[in-house]
């Protein structure tokens, strides 16, 4: 192993535990590998809860605050805008200090944001809570990518990420039907307060247990370079001619799922198909369950097929087709709409492979900054797509369209965004596992 790269060993510790002292050491080391994935999954789960909760909270907040569709999109999107604004500082901090120090500190801010959101009685404080949530989760994806790149072989990157998404998807599930039941029974504030306290507890646990790299990786893993040199790493990343193409594709990686499952899916099924809050929560529950299942299937696809680019483009094609059918078929039944949105959610899991493609473009010491740049692109697309969908609804209403036709216009907008982004990504070179 080369001391200057900090790369993990090419194979994991043996899973066979025996009674010898050496066997016990291997067993404990195996648990540390497992804990890295579980901890990242817990952080991902909390973030997914807040992303999914928008679909349940949107009608409640709109009623309490008398918000228009576009204004509601800005309230929910404030979290994502804050995440974008913090990406560059987060990437530099992660590559300079490591996830062990950065991730728990920022997770504490997320916990405080959830608590503040739960107690807010004015629109300004709701914005403040959402912004703190965005800042708190700004480093979560990049931190997980750094930890995975240090603890696991590179060709397992997408698969390990898929496992994290599958486990962490429990948070998204909790933010759908279970949250809808809590909202109808006890209100939304106690739920957000409980999640905030849980987030603080996870932050403290992570600061004590998470390590930047396995014990066998020589120190120092994170070199304390100057800020100018750290910022210069971004120039090195962007000099790769394929990287901007991946960034463009990244703008429509998370946004479609989050736009539907995290905001407009709830109003769509209530306005167009007459569903109740709990029925809507059940549908959103199914969407996030699909994400968990898809992560386990799509995650290893790049290794099985020997290509990353084609896996991404296949997912893009499926997603665009689903949105075009939602937009083009008049009088679509509720069953057909659910099936198409489930299929879209499955296809959109191409973002796991896109992240692996991104990881393969850069050397190990630039993973944090490359991941945060990709997160900038991915998270930036969320408020744009959410607000754009809201604008389509407002324009449709102003033009005299009924609710069904206005939502069809929104679905067409999403299909166009994904298709346009994929046209540039097609010109990027493939990076085989």
Q: Is residue 134 part of a domain?
A: yes
Q: Is the pLDDT of residue 6 over 60?
A: no
Dihedral pair phi/psi, residue 20, rounded to 5°: -75, 155
Cα separation, 116 vs 110, whole angstroms: 10
Q: What is the pTM of this model?
A: 0.68
The pLDDT value given to residue 232: 67
Q: Is the pLDDT of residue 5 over 50?
A: no
pLDDT above 70 covers a percentage of the chain that reads 84
Handedness of CA 301, 305, 309, 311 (dihedral sign): negative
The pLDDT value given to residue 323: 95
Q: What is the pLDDT of residues 277-315, one digit of tens each?
A: 778 878 877 887 887 788 778 877 777 788 888 889 999
Q: What is the pLDDT of residues 126-141, one digit of tens each?
A: 788 888 988 888 878 7
DSSP state of 216: T
The pLDDT value given to residue 194: 87
Indicate the pLDDT class of residue 19, thresholds 50, 70 and 90.
low
Tell me the average pLDDT of the chain.
78
- Give 204 or 165, the one with higher predicted confidence: 204
The pLDDT value given to residue 410: 92
Lowest mean pLDDT among 109-118, 210-219, 245-254, 327-336: 210-219
Indicate the pLDDT class of residue 319, thresholds 50, 70 and 90.
very high
Q: What is the CATH number of the domain that holds 310?
A: 1.20.1250.20
What does the pLDDT average to over 115-131? 81
Concatenate the DSSP letters of all residues of 251-277 into one string.
Answer: TTTSHHHHHIIIIIHHHHHHHTT---H
- Give 94 or 193, the one with higher predicted confidence: 193
Q: Is residue 323 part of a domain?
A: yes
What does the pLDDT average to over 376-400? 84
Cα separation, 205 vs 46, whole angstroms: 14
Among 424, 164, 155, 431, CA closest to 311? 431
Among 251, 281, 188, 245, CA closest to 428? 245
CB-based contacts of 90, cutoff 8 Å, min separation 6: 102, 106, 138, 139, 142, 372
Count: domains in the chain: 1
CB-based contacts of 381, cutoff 8 Å, min separation 6: 250, 251, 252, 253, 254, 255, 417
Dihedral pair phi/psi, residue 350, rounded to 5°: -60, -15
Q: b/e string for 50-84 if b means 16 or more Cβ within 10 A?
A: bbbbbbbbbbbbbeeeebebbbbbbbbbbbbbbbb
Q: Is residue 407 part of a domain?
A: yes
What does the pLDDT average to over 192-196? 87
Q: How many whole angstroms from its chain centre is CA 136?
A: 13
CB-based contacts of 95, cutoff 8 Å, min separation 6: 146, 222, 230, 233, 365, 366, 367, 368, 369
Lowest mean pLDDT among 231-235, 250-254, 333-337, 401-405: 231-235
- Give 273 or 15, the one with higher predicted confidence: 273
Q: Is residue 21 part of a domain?
A: no
Q: Is residue 431 part of a domain?
A: no
The pLDDT value given to residue 160: 78
Q: Is the pLDDT of residue 38 over 70?
A: yes
pLDDT above 90 covers a percentage of the chain that reads 12
Q: Is residue 210 part of a domain?
A: yes
- Give 17 or 60, the one with higher predicted confidence: 60
Cα separation, 128 vs 116, whole angstroms: 8
The pLDDT value given to residue 339: 94
Q: Is the pLDDT of residue 180 over 60?
A: yes
Cα separation, 162 vs 303, whole angstroms: 13
HEC-encoded secondary structure of 395-427? HHHHCCCCHHHHHHHHHHHHHHHHHHHHHHHCC
The pLDDT value given to residue 68: 67
What does the pLDDT average to over 81-105? 80
Q: Is the pLDDT of residue 370 over 50?
A: yes
CB-based contacts of 214, cutoff 8 Å, min separation 6: 8, 9, 29, 32, 33, 150, 151
Q: Under a CB-based contact definition with an 8 Å cutoff, are residues 48 and 289 in contact?
A: no
Q: Is the pLDDT of residue 240 over 90?
A: no
Q: Is residue 386 part of a domain?
A: yes
Cα three-residue angle 157-260-71, rounded to 5 degrees? 120
Q: b/e string for 253-289 if b means 16 or more Cβ within 10 A?
A: bbbbbbbbbbbbbbbbbbbbbebebeebbbbbbbbbb
The pLDDT value given to residue 412: 94
Q: Which domain holds residue 148?
A: 27-214+224-425
Q: Is residue 98 part of a domain?
A: yes
The pLDDT value given to residue 318: 94
């Amino acid at each position: 192993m080369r001391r200057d790269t900090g790369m993990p060993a090419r194979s994991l510790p043996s899973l066979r535990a025996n009674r010898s002292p050496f066997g016990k050491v291997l067993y404990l080391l195996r648990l540390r590998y497992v804990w890295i994935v579980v901890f990242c999954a817990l952080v991902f789960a909390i973030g997914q809860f807040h992303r999914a909760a928008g679909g349940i909270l949107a009608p409640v907040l709109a009623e309490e605050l008398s918000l228009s569709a576009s204004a509601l999109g800005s309230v929910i999107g404030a979290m994502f805008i804050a995440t974008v604004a913090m990406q560059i500082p987060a990437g530099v901090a992660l590559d300079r200090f490591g996830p062990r120090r950065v991730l728990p500190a920022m997770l504490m801010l997320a916990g405080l944001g959830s608590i503040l959101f739960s107690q807010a009685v004015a629109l300004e404080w709701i914005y403040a809570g959402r912004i703190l949530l965005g800042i708190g989760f700004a480093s979560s994806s990049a931190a997980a990518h750094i930890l995975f790149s240090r603890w696991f072989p590179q060709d397992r990157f997408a698969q390990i990420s898929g496992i994290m998404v599958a486990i962490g998807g429990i948070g998204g599930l909790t933010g759908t039907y279970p949250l809808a039941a809590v909202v109808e029974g006890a209100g939304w504030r106690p739920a957000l307060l409980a999640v905030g306290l849980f987030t603080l507890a996870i932050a403290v646990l992570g600061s004590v247990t998470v390590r930047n790299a396995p014990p066998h990786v020589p120190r120092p893993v994170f070199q304390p370079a100057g800020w100018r040199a750290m910022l210069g790493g971004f120039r090195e990343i962007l000099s790769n001619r394929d990287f901007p193409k991946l960034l463009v594709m990244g703008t429509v990686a998370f946004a479609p799922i989050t736009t539907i499952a995290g905001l407009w899916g709830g109003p769509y099924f209530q306005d167009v198909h007459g569903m109740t809050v709990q029925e809507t929560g059940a549908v959103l529950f199914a969407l996030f369950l699909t994400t968990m299942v898809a992560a386990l299937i799509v995650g290893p696809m790049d290794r099985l097929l020997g290509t990353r680019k084609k896996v991404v483009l296949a997912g893009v094609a499926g997603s665009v087709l689903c949105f075009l059918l939602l937009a083009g078929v008049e009088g679509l039944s509720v069953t057909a709409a659910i099936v198409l949105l489930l299929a879209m959610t499955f296809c959109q899991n191409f973002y796991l492979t896109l992240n692996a493609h991104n990881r393969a473009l850069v050397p190990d010491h630039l993973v944090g900054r490359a991941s945060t740049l990709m997160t900038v692109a991915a998270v930036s697309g969320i408020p744009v797509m959410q607000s754009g969908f809201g604008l389509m609804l407002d324009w449709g209403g102003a033009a005299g369209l009924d609710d069904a036709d206005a939502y069809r216009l929104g679905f067409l907008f999403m299909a166009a965004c994904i298709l346009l982004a994929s046209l540039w990504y097609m010109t990027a070179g493939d990076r085989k596992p």
